[in-house]
Amino acid sequence: MKRLILVRHAKSSWSESSLPDKDRPLNDRGHEAAPKIGRWLASKGYQPDEVISSAALRCRETWAGILGQLNPVSNVRFEDYLYLATDAEMLDTLRTASGDTVLMIGHMPGIGDLARGLRQDPPPKHSLFAKYPTGAATVLDFQIDDWAEAQFGSARFEAYVAPADL
**pLDDT tens-digit profile of 84-108?**
999 999 999 999 999 999 999 999 9
Q: What is the mean pLDDT of residues 106-118?
A: 97
Q: Contact at 8 Å (CB) between 156 and 121? A: yes
Q: In this predicted structure, what is the pLDDT of residue 26?
A: 97
Cβ partners under 8 Å of residue 20, min gap 6: none
Higher pLDDT: 117 or 17? It is 117
Q: Which CATH number fits domain 2-165: 3.90.550.10, 3.40.50.150, 3.40.50.1240, 3.40.640.10?
A: 3.40.50.1240
* Residue 23 confidence class, pLDDT cut points 50, 70, 90: very high
Q: In this predicted structure, what is the pLDDT of residue 142?
A: 98
Q: Give the chain's mean pLDDT.
A: 95
Q: Strand pairing partners for 56?
A: none
Q: In this predicted structure, what is the pLDDT of residue 55?
A: 98
Q: In this predicted structure, what is the pLDDT of residue 127?
A: 80
How large a percentage of the chain has pLDDT more than 70?
100
- The DSSP bridge pattern shows strands 2-8 and 137-142 to be antiparallel
- The DSSP bridge pattern shows strands 2-8 and 50-54 to be unpaired
Whether 16 shows a pLDDT value over 90: the answer reads no
Q: In this predicted structure, what is the pLDDT of residue 124?
A: 78
